[in-house]
Structure 1
Amino acid sequence: MAVDTPPTDTRLGRLVRAPMHEARVCWSFTWGDLSATVLPATTFAIAAWNSTGLPAHSLPTVVAKCLVYFWLYIYTFNLSNQLIGVDEDRINKPHRPLVTGLITPTGARRRLLLVTAAFVIVGALFGVLLWTCLWVAAWTLHNHLGWARTAWGKNAAMVAGTIAQLAAAWQIVTPLTGTAWTWILTIAVPLGVLVSLQDLRDLAGDAAIGRRTAGMVMGEKNSRRFFSVAFALYPVVTYLALYRYAPMTAQCVGAIAGILSLAIAYRVVRLDDRRSDNTTYMVYTYWYCITLASAVFAVG
């Protein structure tokens, strides 16, 4: 007597696999940038919370809001950025999902529309719609209107994006203050130049598609010298603007960030292969996180 074999693609199976697949897609687009977005922005929101005297039981809500908002922040950007960068990624980052075929460009475009809509809705609900719209405008200009192909356009978009990130992080918790703006502008404006450090990893792909990043414009050796000097001097800027009158704990955490900044200054000229450049960029993201962590102790 024949036994019926259950179908391999049941409705229940599809219902289980679909969210798992979406989680995998989301992770594949975002994991490499969490230390430059979700972690530091959430840390700055904790600094804002610490400045208000809110009860301890309100902190998990702040963190949860930030995890949702800033995951959408980076997911929208990376969907958009990788959609227009497939040819470059085949050279520089062949592990990315559009290159490996995890999803199709059509699927990425559909997700971009849905995730951007979700991001705008969440931004409105959290009271940071202005900064949400600024970020969407910044990545639209950067990715789809050609700003990423020029050094000035790329850097201007990143300044706007950093302001949008940090202002939203603070405003999710409490209204922006003069102290908050001092931190935001001291970090965001120089970062518009310093963030170009990441382009040293991608010179081959940038040359292949005709992108004119800072490294391409100045030449690799000159750009490395420039970043070395800039990261060596930046701890002086942060001390004068942020730490000179801050509590000792904030100064000590800031000193750790300063040591990392000096390490970047050394690495960028002494360790110049692609693997080292990628590690140097990761040190940069840790420096960014620790700098913002110092705000928890400076503004409380």
Structure 2
Amino acid sequence: MVLAGPTDLLSFLMGFVWLELHLLTFEIKNQITGLEEDRLSKPSRPIAAGRIAVPAAQRLYICVGALSLAWSAFHGLLVCSAVYMVAIVCYNECGLSRHWFLKSFLGSIGYVCYCWGTTVIFDHGHPLSNISIAAIAISGLLHTTTGHAQDFRDRFGDAAIGRKTLPLILPPCLVRWSLALLMVVWTAFLVFLWAPPYGVSMLFAALCLTSGARFIRDHSVEADRKSYCYYNMWLMTAHLLPGFARISLSA
């Protein structure tokens, strides 16, 4: 809605359904292939907890994936969904998520596709504007360069299955300070690019410094979970900023 502007209820609901179908497609397959990891670090998830059997989850994955493609065909977004489905297969079935860069890069493709599809539907099928294209590309780059923030809380589960993430292959101080520095650089760049109001800029900077400082100060798993929450608030704010450029352009 930041990129498309206010939309009608029907378009919102159609976009919401499109997004949820694609999210579920990934989540189901991710929890099937990551079952052993989830048993260690996220035992409450449905498959790891035994509430859904793997064969049933596999059937559900196929059904939801087919619905995602059908819903995309209805909205003229088959290319978007095709890119997304290829990324899912590479991430899960091909095991490319075990590599630190490919994990973040493939995750960024997911972010790009989520933004792409929902923006088009909210905007009643109109092509993406230049601001939207820039904002969605930046969303992908943000996740590629800082998405390993989620890996700190999962490092013991990742180590158990042999996944190589940055928190596991780099010295703790280096990887944590570099993440904080990347967030500072991104914060300064996005404030310069999108020119949000002063108060919003200060909030964005405060979330950046809070998250970065927390990652640096406390290395415990529980602290990393909380730090990741602050990171997500920073990331969400970053995704709100292009709205100010769109409003300024339309004024």
State if a TM-score over 0.5 links the two structures: yes
**Which amino acid counterpart does residue 219 of structure 1 have in structure 2?**
P
**Which amino acid counterpart does residue 2 of structure 2 have in structure 1?**
A
Residue in structure 1 matched with residue 95 of structure 2 by the alignment: 146
Residue in structure 1 matched with residue 172 of structure 2 by the alignment: 220
Query: Once superposed, what is the RMSD of the aligned Cα atoms?
Result: 1.7
Residue in structure 2 matched with residue 47 of structure 1 by the alignment: 2
Quick check: 1:293 aligned with 2:240? yes
Residue in structure 2 matched with residue 64 of structure 1 by the alignment: 13
* SS state at 2:241 partner: helix
Q: Deviations over 1:85-118 (max 9, x none)?
A: 1111111111111111110000110000000001
Structure 2 contact 15–117 (Cα < 8 Å) conserved: no
Q: How does 1:263-278 map to 2 (within 5 A)?
A: 263-278=210-225
Structure 1 contact 254–291 (Cα < 8 Å) conserved: no
Q: How does 1:66-215 map to 2 (within 5 A)?
A: 66-172=15-121, 173=123, 174-215=126-167
1:255/1:122 Cα in 2 relative to 1: closer, same or farther (>3 Å)? farther
The whole-number CA distance in structure 2 between the counterparts of 1:296 and 1:61 is 22
* SS state at 2:118 partner: helix
The whole-number CA distance in structure 1 between the counterparts of 2:222 and 2:208 is 19
Q: Deviations over 1:113-135 (max 9, x none)?
A: 00000111111212222111111
Displacement of 1:221:
2.9
* SS state at 2:44 partner: coil
The whole-number CA distance in structure 2 between the counterparts of 1:282 and 1:269 is 15
Structure 2 contact 18–72 (Cα < 8 Å) conserved: yes
Count of residue correspondences: 244
**Which amino acid counterpart does residue 231 of structure 1 have in structure 2?**
M
**Which amino acid counterpart does residue 297 of structure 1 have in structure 2?**
F
Moved over 4 A (4+): none
Structure 2 contact 194–244 (Cα < 8 Å) conserved: no
Structure 1 contact 159–191 (Cα < 8 Å) conserved: yes
User: Which structure is higher in RCO with an 8 Å CA cutoff and minimum separation 6?
Assistant: 1
Q: Taking structure 1 as the reference length, what is the TM-score of the superposition?
A: 0.76
Displacement of 1:149:
0.6
Runs (5+) with no aligned partner, structure 2: none
Q: Taking structure 2 as the reference length, what is the TM-score of the superposition?
A: 0.90
**Which amino acid counterpart does residue 168 of structure 2 have in structure 1?**
M
Displacement of 1:254:
4.4
The whole-number CA distance in structure 2 between the counterparts of 1:268 and 1:119 is 36
**Which amino acid counterpart does residue 108 of structure 2 have in structure 1?**
V
The whole-number CA distance in structure 2 between the counterparts of 1:252 and 1:292 is 16
Farther-moved stretch of structure 1 (95-104 vs 120-129)? 120-129
Runs (5+) with no aligned partner, structure 1: 1-45, 51-55
The whole-number CA distance in structure 1 between the counterparts of 2:232 and 2:11 is 22
Name which one, 1 or 2, has greater alpha-carbon Rg.
Answer: 1
The whole-number CA distance in structure 1 between the counterparts of 2:204 and 2:118 is 20
* SS state at 1:100 partner: coil
